[in-house]
Structures are given as structure tokens and as C-alpha cells.
Amino acid sequence: MDSSLTPFFDPQGIVVIGASSSPEKLGYGVARNLLKGGYEGAIHLVNPKDGTLFGIPMQRSVAEVPDPVDLAVVIVPAAVAPQTLREVGQRGIHAAILTSSGFRETGPQGAALEEELLGVCRAFDIRLIGPNCIGLLDTHLPLDTTFLAPPPPPSGDIAFLSHSGAFCAAIIDWSRWQGFGFSRLISLGNQADVTETDLLAHIASDPHTRSIVLYLEGLKDGRRFLQEAARVTPRKPIVALKVGRFESGQKAAASHTGALAGAEAAFDAAFEKAGVLRALTVEEAFDWAQALAACRLPRGRRMAVLTNAGGPGVIAADSLEDHGLSLAALGTTTIRALQELLPPAASPNNPVDMLASASPADYANCLRLLLDDPQVDGVLLVLPPPPIYPAEEVADALIPLIRAADKPVLVALMGAHLVQTAARHFERSHIPTFPFPERAAATLARLAERAEFLAKPEAESQPAIQVDAGAAAAILEAAPRGQWLEAEAVDQLMSAYGIPTAPVKLAHSADEAASLAEELGFPLVIKVASPDIPHKSDVGGLVLGVTSPESAAEAFRTVSQRARTARPEAHIQGVHLQRQVSEGQEVILGVVRDPQFGALVMFGSGGVEVEGLKDVAFALAPLTPVEAESLIGRTWAGKKLDGFRNIPPADKAAAVDVLVRLAALAYEQPAITEIEINPLSVLKQGAVAIDVRIKC
Amino acid sequence: MDSSLTPFFDPQGIVVIGASSSPEKLGYGVARNLLKGGYEGAIHLVNPKDGTLFGIPMQRSVAEVPDPVDLAVVIVPAAVAPQTLREVGQRGIHAAILTSSGFRETGPQGAALEEELLGVCRAFDIRLIGPNCIGLLDTHLPLDTTFLAPPPPPSGDIAFLSHSGAFCAAIIDWSRWQGFGFSRLISLGNQADVTETDLLAHIASDPHTRSIVLYLEGLKDGRRFLQEAARVTPRKPIVALKVGRFESGQKAAASHTGALAGAEAAFDAAFEKAGVLRALTVEEAFDWAQALAACRLPRGRRMAVLTNAGGPGVIAADSLEDHGLSLAALGTTTIRALQELLPPAASPNNPVDMLASASPADYANCLRLLLDDPQVDGVLLVLPPPPIYPAEEVADALIPLIRAADKPVLVALMGAHLVQTAARHFERSHIPTFPFPERAAATLARLAERAEFLAKPEAESQPAIQVDAGAAAAILEAAPRGQWLEAEAVDQLMSAYGIPTAPVKLAHSADEAASLAEELGFPLVIKVASPDIPHKSDVGGLVLGVTSPESAAEAFRTVSQRARTARPEAHIQGVHLQRQVSEGQEVILGVVRDPQFGALVMFGSGGVEVEGLKDVAFALAPLTPVEAESLIGRTWAGKKLDGFRNIPPADKAAAVDVLVRLAALAYEQPAITEIEINPLSVLKQGAVAIDVRIKC
């Protein structure tokens, strides 16, 4: 944990530079929030025109500020910000929040000013949050360095880090009526110095923080984020709302992998690897964060629904299935006990419908039975306004049970006016409620996901695969940049990393093709040999099922001519001959290098239709065998390796091994920018890379 | 429109049978709501113990009730309900709402009582809503026959029909704070007589209703619903929340089509055909209904985002893309005008970010520019709390523009406390608001969908395909039920409906196979002939690429033996020989008969992997060529018919023609329960059904 960041979270004294007595100024708001917010350390105000504010005399300059002071909140015009920070440094303060805007976000001139700022920070060892931000807020210390109009957000256990100040302000306002609160809130602004990644460890170590929400517009250093996040997620859950997805539309790409791997695939893979839950909407992000902070985790995905009417029960059951959870099959003891408790017309099966007559005691008794059932991993409690009893009486009967339970109970409190008091009672007991079953079910699914993540065995150490990294590096050093490697180099790289290939021979003439064919045996595949023609079948540069030397010679002539016609500019070296591997299941493996996260590995249904079917999945290199197997299992191509109808099972372990080796190659050899094995033929025993392309 | 239902919506006088002076009784609630609700017709109360209630003397029996009276609301114990309805009939009242429960929902005894009720209704020509319901509510007439505690739901323009009373009650309560209101609300209960389908035309003709939400737990008559809904949707939008999806899990099925077509595929296809928008969550249903009632429809899918900060703009842009809308490319005139209006650091490109300094006038001016741009079909206005101006001032500046616009403007009002007054102003002007951009974007997409539905040309009359329906009917009459038809009958049916097939010959011996092979020509496919073996490749009962009479004889022996080994119990007639069609694109076409909606047609990627890849789409028969083409276009298999990379385009029109003919066959010949063409080979010119199976 970086101790230079401690003054942001535990300052002994704070100076507000640019404090103002004009209520419409941001410098007024910051001083007000700091003073009224209950901060217990020293508070100093600086304004060149001095005067007093809230009864505190203002200093003319930061130089005059007495000890203790270790954090500066700066609200001054952009042009004088570098000089102000210099004075902050000269006063011996090493942490600053620069609220002001007018920097990188405004164009080249502002960017230059921001560079200057950063120079000052480096010269004086200042850690800087901002510029162009709202500041930070800790509801427990307490500390409020924002200028936002009161009231401050409610105190709670969610930490929120935001790249957008406006979004942060909207969330603060929205949270007021939502039944949850924040431990810490940090608006990061332009991130000239401090980024979300820098702060993760500090936030995670905060005892008041039980879950973390990140609003991300991008990342400065994806690999570092991955490392920091992976350190936090085993202890505290992180939910990320990463926006700007529409900007990463697919570009034209020479490989199928390149075409299919947008930047979002890399973000998804990174979040997956680090155990970060990715939300796609704002409501999702905070629904999940609330429950992750407040609720027990389920031991499995079998959920019970408890309600007092048929319709809401059916909606809940649908939602559970929609989100990959299952309706628990209740134990016979449970069903019998429910039958004894409930009227004959009630449904003692899951979803359990107690009928409209259900009393608060009925709710509690039934919930207890469901929680006691070992077949039940969690409960979705659906509470429309009870027609006979006030909803708050039901809530009061349930609250102690929910709090004591070792399984999650999520509450869908349907209604408004009639359930208002009940909502307040649940809130007071830190039990999140959801307006309808669908959002509760989605959230319950995230709790299950989190439980599964935590239950994963510690990632095994990298498997002891035998590779010749030195040989590979030497080959790559000699390779031209920005080009697809020649077949020989590709073969050598595959060999260095132990990836089996079907031997390939290059024929320069039809006669040579005939004699090499005899040497290799039949049946053969004959492919045009040209680094300029990545997709050979697109130009008819591929002949399958060659069974004699004569047809090999003929195929030589055919594919050469077709390739010359289709791509007159291509350099054609001859044709490649290769034994045709049949009876295997053909899959595609690929690698692209993501600028943020490095080597991104793809697995899926291969062939020419891969881009259309999109039956592919991605993961970040390196891969352990467990990760490789999980990647394979996310596609139909991977599931099919276990056999399907008349398709016999294939050697999945061999595919896992190739995937692990491919990921190691990509991870250890950063000169490689793109690899595609299409197809890898997964046989009854073993797997063979049939066509491999590698780009530097 | 069924005039027997008119008394429910325009009663001259109402009698409450079972009115009670005990406030805890439902009969008290109904009398109170009716009396306090402002209903202007005659109100009569019946209670055998007489007395007065709310100053009105109660009658001892309905026989004593004076004119006018044409609607009875009945709240009596289930056991006396039939007798009570008899008295209602004897009094000459032909419409009744039976609130009481204790009927079909409680078991066999209750079901018998419900049957008795229905007998009374038939004998006395009574139309009945319920039993086991909450009743109905018209906020404009006004009329409130429910027993729900006040206040009633706000008045508005959404009609809501619900199969669940509890859900209805929850929605009434929830709606109070949601900024929208209802025109009519009907809880249908057990639907002993009146169903949602019966009421659709009446609801649609209500001038106060601008959109309709249906909460459906199932349908009694799917085809009739389809017809009634299809009559309504060109005039008024219907949003359906059909639950019980989890109950329609896939069952084991002999055909791929059967395995892939759950009951939900049929509901989806029916809603699609009728122009009903299907919501999957409660919030979606009412978000959409609000906007469909209040907003203009866009002419296309190109949307502009207007906001005052970067983050919210990016969230909005992501959401638009997520929901199949696009970010409009603003015209240069618009961009120039925005640049003139806004500070230099603002973004005049879509998403338009006016910066935090934006005044109410800036909002209005920018919105006007966007609305005037012909490149823009609609606007997503994202309004986080403006830091300088009160949000309500921004709202007031925007409201007249939004109301006058001929394009939709959806408002995401982010926050709570600070945007509360603005929310009320929007609400007063009937402009729906959404808490975050994601829900607004999803709703905007539904507006676009609705516009596209309305813009569709009137469904062409069925194409004049030449079929011999009589011949087909004769073949089917002779066919055994519950079995796959023999190859000859299948061929005849295909021929009767003009679906081209590859001729098939049946060989009973290896010698016959050799001689038939010579007759047909090569290459050939040889398949085991057995109605008991639907998936021939599963048992190795299929040999491709047979090129000589000798190998035909050998294939006869091979497949016969494999089939006998794998399925000793199967009746094996011999083998089928068929010319092998190569170079075509192979797709699957199928039909299953849904119990609700009749023939459901499937199109998609064929072969043995169809169930794994699930690249299939469904539509209800019959199909016009336009519908068939749209069905094809929803799958990758269909898109590929236009050509992809080295896959040449195939004769899509021929595939459309086969699909239309197949749908006609299934629609016109109800004896058929299942058809599967796998594959249909779509050639450069024409298409050939290679393997066809039909079940009766």
C-alpha cells in the first residue's frame, strides 16, 4: 500500500486554497462542506484577500498556514494552479486535490498546463487527485472535500470511485432515497497523477468499506489494474461499470481473432481474470454492490421463492431461471412442514405461495423452514403489499431471521405507498430491498458468482510445460516486423512451445509437389504458400483430398493459378503440402495483443464461418490448465469435445494443453502481435495444428 | 366489439351484493371505493341484514334493487355464489364481477363450483369477470369496483389487464410515485368466462387509453388472442409481460425442431406476428407503455444524445448501441451552430456535451438544433443535476420544445433530491422520465420498433402458390397417427406443395442397391430406410460419396448392419439411395405444432450441430414471402445465403419459396404435427430438400 496516499484518507490538517466567502463560488462550497461535515482535524482557509469565513480567519497564502496540515484542496483558476501547487510543495504538503477545471479536457493548451502541474508534483513529491474533479468524501472519518450542495450522501459501506465528476454528483443525489450509503466517494477527474488503480489497496483496507463500485471510462495501465484488482477481490468485491463500449467497434482485421476481439473482449477477460463483476447499467452496479456489502453468499445456485400470491411467485421463478439460478427442489420434510402451516389451497412447492391470508408469523415460519432446508442455497422473498397485515409487521417478523441466517435472503418489496414503512425498517437493518423480483434475482446471481469465485482453489502455479523460450525469442528477433511469418519460422515456434503441427513441405514446382506428395503419403491438403494471402480458401488456394502424385502436381498448378489471378500483387512462394488429418473436431485458437492487457487468447468454433457464428470466448494469457478448460467450456465448440450425438468425444485434454502452450508463447514472447491456429484438429488422441499463422 | 361487455365499461347502475358495514370486509371496501370514487350512475347496496352504509339504505336482496342497474359486483362466500348469480340473472342483470375466491384455484371442489357458476352464467346470459379477482377500475369514467385501500392509482393513459390480482394490487400501489397513471385496470382472476382476449377490443376503443399492458400467465385460446391483438396493434400499442417462462423448459424431442422450439418460442413468434411488444421485466413493461402512450415515434434509429457532462453522455451512447440504435452523425450545419452556441471545450459532436455551465437556454437551443437536424430521428436527453441552475428551470425551458417536437425526446433525469421538482414538472406535462440513460435508451428502441411495425406495408395477401391441398389431405388421411410417414408419402406431400426434393429410391437388397445406383447416377448418398430411426447419422446409418454400383452394394450392407446393431428393435425396410447434392448451402427448416398457436416454423443452420449452435429462428405459419425473408434474415445461416468470404451467394429466393410452401403445408394440413427438412440444400439456382421427415 502506497503510504504517499495516506493523507487523502487520514489527513491531520487540511488547507482549502481558494476558499471564498461568495456562496456561488466552489471555494465557498468546499469550505462549508469541510467545516459542517464534522471533520475533526485542523481546517485552514487561504484566500489572498484574507477576511473570515464561517468565523475562521483566512490566511493570505499557504506559506502562513500553521501545523498540522498535510492535505491541500485547491480551487484556483487553471492558469495559476502550477504556481499554487509549487507553494503547496514549498509549505511541505505532499497531497493535494485540485478541483479546478481548464486542463487536458479543454484541449492542447490545457494539456500543456496539466503537464506543467505534473512537473511541479514530481519536483515537490506531491500526490495529486484531479484536476477537474469533485474531490473526495469519507462518511465515517468524516471528511468532505467536495463543493456539492448539502445534504451529503448517506453513510454506508459502499466505496465509489468515479472517472466522471458529473456522474459522481448524480449518484450522490440519487443515493439519498435509495436505501444505501457510501463509505467513501472519490471523483478522480483527469487523473494527472493518482488513478483508480493507485487507490484500490487503500479503499480495500478501509474497515467501513464492504464493496467497491468503479465507474471507468478507460484505464491508463490495464495490466497494473489487473494486478491490483486481483489482490483486492479475494477480500472485497469490486463491481465495475466500464463505459465507452460503443467506441470499441470492430475494425477490419486480417485474422478472424482480430476481427472478433474488440477492446471490450479484453476488458471482459481482464475483469473475469481479476474477479471483478462487470455491470452494464448503473442500477445493476449499485444493486449488486448493496447486496455484496450486506448479504451472505450462497453455497450454490438452488433458490427458494417465498411469497403470498401466484403471480409474483411466477415472476420470481422466471427471473431466477433467466439469471442462471435454479428453483430448489424442496426436501419432503420442508414440504410437509409447509403444508401443516399453510391453508390447503397454498402451494408448499417452490415457488412457495402462502396465499393472501399469510400473517407476519406465517412469513417468518415459512422463511425459517426454507432456510433450514439443506436443498436451499438462498431465498428470494417477494413481498407485494399484504392485503390483511401492514407490510411493516411482516418486515419486522422477517428482519431478525434474515440477519441471523447463514444464507442470503433477498427481498423484492413490490409497491410504494403501502410498503414505505417496511422499506424503512429493512433499510435500518441493512437489508437491501428491490422494487421487483427481476432485479433481486439478477443480484442473487451475482452473489452466487462471487461465492464461486471465492471457492476457486488458489490459482495453481504455472504448469511445468517444457518450452524453449530462448529458441523462440531468437526466431522472433530475426523476423520482420508487421508481417506474417514464413511457414518455416512458424513451424519452429510451434516446436519450441511443443504445439504439435502436421508437417508441411514447400514445393516450388509441380514436379516437386508430386515427389514430396509421395514422400508424405496420402490423403494430402495442398495450399498456396504466400505470406500475402492469409485466408487461402478466399482465393481458392486450397485443395483437399489429394490422393496421388499426379493430382498433387495438378493441384500445384490449380492453386498457383487461382492465387495469381485473385491476388496478382502477392508474393507466391509455391505450395505447401500437408497430410490431411480427418476425423478430428476442428476448432480455432487465436491470440491478439491488446494495448491495455497484453495477450488475449481466443477459443471457439473454427472454419471459415467463425466470424459469422461467433461461437468464441476470450481469456487473458497466461492460462493455467483450469483456466484453459473453463475457456473451452464457454463455447459450443468446446462442449462438443465431450461428444454430441454421433460426434465422438475428442481429446479435450490435448486441446487444453495446446491452449496453455499457446498462451505461454504469446505471454512470454511480446514480439508476437497475432497468432491464429485455424483449425486445430482435436483427435481421439492428441491434437494437431493444421494451419498456423503468426504475425510480429 | 362484443356489446355484452359494454356494462363493464359504461354501466348505468351498479349493485354491490355483499356490501358490508364492517370496515375489515371486502364488501365494505368495494362499497366505499364505488361511492367515493366519483361514479355518476346509480349505486345500490345489497346485504341480507339490510341497514345503511355511507348513508345509503341497503336492500335485502338484488330482486328489490330498482332501475337503473346493469352491473353487479358480487362479494359473497363461494358456496352461495351460484345462487347469488342466479338472482342477478333473474333481476335481469347481464354483467357481473365476482370478487370472491374459493373456486378453481383451491382444487377440484372449487373447480366444480366454478363449473356451476358458468352454467348459471350461460343460463341467464351473464358475462362474468372473475371469480377470484380484484375487479375493475376506470379512472376517467370514473368507476372503481375494487376493494383496495385508497388512494386509488393516478389517472392516466395506460390500460392494464392482469391475470394476477396480487400483482395488480402491487402495481396500483407502485404506480403512485412513478409519474404515470392508468386509464383502466382490470384484474381477470380465474377467467371462468371473460378473458383478456374478450376485452382487448373494448380497451382499445377507449379514447383515454393510449397504450395497453397485459400481464399474462398463459392464454386460453392463442389463435384468437393473436387475431384480436393483431386488430388492436395497428391503432394502439400492446406490451405483454408473459410469465411462466421457466415452466416451458425443453423436453426430449425426436426432431431438432421439437427440441429447439419451447412454448416460449411460440409465444415470441405470436407476439411478433401480432405486433405485440414483449417485455421481460415489470419495469420494462411500464417504461415502454409510458413512452408509447406519451411520445412521438422516430422515423429511424439515428439518435442524438444531449447532456452537460462527458460521463453521462458516454453511458447514454453505450446504451443506444446496446439496444440496436445508432448515434446520429450530425449535419455540419448543426455542428457549426452548436459550436457557436457552446464554449470551445464543449463537444458539438454526438454525444453532445454542453459542459456543466449549460444554462436552461443552452439546453433549449441545443435541443432545437438537434431536433431540426434531418440526420436525427430522436433525442436522448440526459439531465444530471445541473451544478449551476436548478434542474426545474432546465425542465421548464425544455418542456414546450419536447411537447411541440415531431420526434421523440426521452429524458433521463439522474438524481433524486435535486431533480425532484423537475421530475414533477415533466410529469405534469406528460413527459416520461427515466432514472438513468439505460432504461431511456431501451425504451427509445421500442419506440423505433413500434414505428417500424406501423410502417410495414399491409401484409400482402397470401402468395398465389400452386399447391394440391386435396392430394395432400388424402395422403394424410391414410397415414397412421403418431408416426413418421414413409418416404413415399413424404415425397408425395412435398410434391403436392411444390417443394423440390432429390429423388429417393428404396433398395431392399444389395443387388437392388447396385442397380438403382446405376440408374440414378453418382455420387450418391445411401441412408438406412427406417421410420424408427429419425437421426440416421446417430447410428452410422448414412454413407456419403458413393461413386460406383459396387460401393452402393457395400454401403447397403454396411448401413443395414450398423442400424441393426444400434437399434435391434427398429423396423428396417432397406436403404434409400439419393443423388448427392454438393456445393449447396445446407440449412434446416422445421415445423412443430404448438398447442396454443398452431404451426410454428423454424429456419436455421442445419446439420447435426443445430441443437448446439442454436442458430435458428421461429415464426408462426402461414408466412408471406416478406415474413419468410425476415425469418431467414434473423439467423447466420440466412445471412450467409447472401455470400460470405469464399462462400458464394446462394438462391435465397428459392429458400424463401420453400419456406412459404412449407408453412402453407403445415397451416393447411392440421393432421401434420411435425416436419423437418434437414438439410435443405440451397443451390446457386434453386433449392433441394435432401432429407425430409413428416409426422402425423
pLDDT in tens, A274-325: 999 999 999 999 999 999 999 999 999 999 999 999 999 999 999 999 999 9
Check CB contact of A642 with chain B, cutoff 8 Å: no
Check CB contact of B545 with chain A, cutoff 8 Å: no
Separation of alpha carbons A585 and B145, rounded Å: 66
Check CB contact of A215 with chain B, cutoff 8 Å: yes
Q: Which residues of B touch A314 (CB under 8 A)?
A: 164, 217, 243-244
At position B450, the amino acid (one-letter code) is: R
Q: Which residues of B touch A419 (CB under 8 A)?
A: 173
Residue B314: closest CA among A136, A282, A109: A282
Q: Which of B110, B416, B436 has its CB closest to that of A177?
A: B416
Helix (H, G, I), strand (E, B) or coil at B41: coil
Q: Which chain B residue's Cα is nearest to A389?
A: B24
Residue B304: closest CA among B444, B495, B476, B119: B444
Please give the interface size between A and B, counted as residue pairs whose CB atoms are below 8 Å apart.
226
pTM beyond 0.90: the answer is yes
Q: What is the pLDDT of residues B63-94, one digit of tens each?
A: 999 999 999 999 999 999 999 999 999 999 99
Q: What is the pLDDT of residues B262-274, one digit of tens each?
A: 778 999 999 999 9
C-alpha cell at B273: 406476428
pLDDT recorded at residue A250: 44
Q: Residue B543: is its pLDDT beyond 90?
A: no
Contact predicate B20/B47, CB 8 Å: yes
Q: Which of A110, A327, A384 has its CB closest to that of B246?
A: A327
B388, with CB counted inside 10 A (0-12, 13-18, 19+), is: exposed
pLDDT recorded at residue A522: 84
Check CB contact of A583 with chain B, cutoff 8 Å: no
Q: Which residues of B touch A612 (CB under 8 A)?
A: 636, 639-640, 644
Separation of alpha carbons B528 and B399, rounded Å: 72
Contact A246 B538 (CB under 8 A): no
Q: Which chain B residue's Cα is nearest to A216?
A: B311
Contact predicate B408/B380, CB 8 Å: no
Mean pLDDT across the stretch A661-670? 96
Residue A310: closest CA among B160, B215, B284, B144: B215
Contact predicate B131/B190, CB 8 Å: yes
Q: What confidence tier does B487 reach under pLDDT thresholds 50, 70, 90?
A: confident
Q: How far is B64 from chain A (nearest CA, A)?
A: 32
Q: Which residues of B touch A318 (CB under 8 A)?
A: 243-246
Question: What is the complex's ipTM, to 2 decimals?
Answer: 0.90
Q: Within 13 Å of residue A222, how many CA atoms lie on the same side as its CB?
A: 21
Helix (H, G, I), strand (E, B) or coil at A505: strand
Check CB contact of B85 with chain A, cutoff 8 Å: no
Give the number of residues written for chain B.
696
Q: Which residues of A touch B164 (CB under 8 A)?
A: 309-312, 314
Name the phi and psi angles at B484, rounded to 5.
-75, 135
**In sequence order, what E strands does A273-316 have?**
277-278, 302-307
Q: Which of B110, B309, B321 has its CB closest to that of A246?
A: B321
The H-assigned helical ranges of A589-634 are 610-613, 625-633
Residue B599: closest CA among B689, B655, B663: B663
Chain A residues 586-625 with a CB less than 8 Å from chain B: 605, 608-609, 611-613, 615
**In sequence order, what E strands does A500-565 have?**
504-507, 524-529, 542-546
Contact B384 A246 (CB under 8 A): no
Q: Which of B163, B311, B416 has its CB closest to that of A174?
A: B416
Q: Which of B173, B418, B539 has its CB closest to that of A173?
A: B418
Chain B residues 112-171 with a CB less than 8 Å from chain A: 149, 151, 162-167, 169-171
Q: How far is B575 from chain A (nearest CA, A)?
A: 19
pLDDT recorded at residue B250: 44
Check CB contact of A282 with chain B, cutoff 8 Å: yes
Selected for mutation to probe chain B from A609, A611, A634 (highest B CB count within 10 Å) is A609
Query: Taking the C-alpha atoms of A117, A120, A125 and A131 in order, what is their torsion angle to the nearest 10 degrees?
Result: -10
Average pLDDT of the residues of chain B: 92
Residue B419: closest CA among A171, A270, A356: A171
Contact B612 A639 (CB under 8 A): yes
Check CB contact of B417 with chain A, cutoff 8 Å: yes
Mean pLDDT across the stretch B332-352? 95
C-alpha cell at B215: 400481464
Percent of chain A with pLDDT over 90: 76
Q: Which chain A residue's Cα is nearest to B23?
A: A388
Q: What is the pLDDT of residues B229-251, one digit of tens each?
A: 999 999 999 999 999 888 754 45
* A348-359 burial: b if 16+ Cβ within 10 Å, else e: bebbbbbbeebb
B22, with CB counted inside 10 A (0-12, 13-18, 19+), is: exposed
The bridge status of strand B238-242 relative to strand B211-216 is parallel
pLDDT recorded at residue B333: 97
Q: Which residues of B touch A170 (CB under 8 A)?
A: 312, 384-385, 414-415
Mean pLDDT across the stretch A590-602? 94
Residue entry with cell 468425444: A649
Residue B498: closest CA among B470, B476, B465, B471: B465
Contact predicate A245/A279, CB 8 Å: no
Q: What is the pLDDT of residues A312-356, one digit of tens each?
A: 999 999 999 999 999 999 999 999 999 999 999 899 999 999 999
The set of residues, in sequence order, having a beta carbon less than 8 Å from that of B559 and lying 6+ positions away, is B526, B527, B528, B540, B541, B542, B543, B575
Contact A644 B322 (CB under 8 A): no
Mean pLDDT across the stretch B280-290? 96
List C-alpha distances in Å: A261 to A325, A594, A598, B370, B405. Answer: 29, 9, 12, 34, 41
Chain A residues 40-59 with a CB less than 8 Å from chain B: none
Contact predicate A578/A516, CB 8 Å: no
Q: Which residues of A touch B213 (CB under 8 A)?
A: none
Q: Domains (ranges, CATH) in chain B?
A: 3-209 (3.40.50.720), 296-455 (3.40.50.261), 503-579 (3.30.1490.20), 585-695 (3.30.470.20)
Check CB contact of A107 with chain B, cutoff 8 Å: yes
**Cα B574 → chain centroid:** 46
Chain B residues 86-105 with a CB less than 8 Å from chain A: 105
Q: How far is B345 from chain A (nearest CA, A)?
A: 5
Separation of alpha carbons B76 and B98, rounded Å: 8
The set of residues, in sequence order, having a beta carbon less than 8 Å from that of B30 and lying 6+ positions away, is B16, B18, B19, B73, B75, B99, B135, B145, B146, B147
pLDDT recorded at residue B253: 62
Q: Which chain A residue's Cα is nearest to B383?
A: A170
Chain A residues 485-524 with a CB less than 8 Å from chain B: none
Contact B173 A345 (CB under 8 A): no
Q: What confidence tier does A248 reach under pLDDT thresholds 50, 70, 90?
A: low
Check CB contact of B328 with chain A, cutoff 8 Å: no
Contact A164 B310 (CB under 8 A): yes
Contact predicate B607/B544, CB 8 Å: no
